[in-house]
Amino acid sequence: MVPVYHFLWLGAFLFCAGLMVIITKRNAIMVLLGIELMLNASNLNLVAFNQLHPAHLSGQMFALFVIIVAVCEAAVGLAIVLRVYQHYQTSVPDEVTDLKD
């Protein structure tokens, strides 16, 4: 069996990669991608930790729930990006700056 540490390193890497994508990429679609990476990092963690605590399957069940919620979030997010595009003709959040102090 693959030791659990490998999964945890992969999870941590995915989380950091997701955060990097969110911070550096300018396009809202890329930010959405980064969020998916972060959510999947947590999924990987949950499933891997379930190996350490095999009495219940709660970690794997949680991962299933997270997948569903991530889909809902992406759907709403894309709809919002589309709406912004209709108004501003861009999907780059930096160029959408009507609201500020």
Partner 1 sequence: MENGLSLTLDHIFSSLFELSPEVILSIGILLVIVVGLVKKDHAITTLLTLLIFSFSFLFVLSDLDTLQQPLLLFQGMLRKDTFSLYLSALVDAAGILTVLMSWRNQREQSHLQEYYALIITVALGAHLLVMSTNFVMVFLSLELISISSYVLTGFSFDKKGAEGSLKYFLFGSVASAVMLYGISLFYGFTGTLEFLSEEFLKNLAGNITPLFFIAGLMVVSGFLYKLAAAPLHPWAPDVYEASPMPVVAFFSTVPKLAGIGVLTRFAMTLKMADQSYDWQSILSVIAILSLTIGNFSALLQKNTKRLMAYSSIAQAGFLLIGVVAFLPQGIHFMLFYATVYVAMNFVVFIYLQYFEKNGFVTIAEFEGIGKTFLWPCVFLLIGFVSLTGLPPTGGFTAKLFIFSSLWDAYQLSGKNILLWLLIFGLLNTVVSLFYYLRIPYYAFIKNRSINITTNILAFENLFGLVLVLLILLFFFSPGLLMGWINKITFVSVIRFPLSVIG
Structure tokens at 25: 């990429």
In angstroms, what is the minimal distance from the CB of 90 to partner 1? 11
In angstroms, what is the minimal distance from the CB of 47 to partner 1? 9
Determine the Cα–Cα distance for residues 82 and 61; give it in Å rounded to an integer: 32
Pick from 5, 87, 89, 94 the residue near partner 1 by CB under 8 A: 87
Neighbours of 25 (CB within 10 A): 15
For partner 1 (CB under 8 A), the number of binding residues is 46
Where would I find the H helices in the chain?
A: 4-24, 28-52, 58-88
Pick from 49, 67, 89, 94 the residue near partner 1 by CB under 8 A: 49
- In terms of residues, how long is the chain? 101
The binding site for partner 1 (CB under 8 A) comprises 8, 11, 15, 18, 22, 28, 31, 35, 38-39, 41-43, 45-46, 48-49, 52-53, 55-56, 58-59, 61-62, 65-66, 69, 72-73, 76-77, 80-81, 83-84, 86-88, 93, 96-101
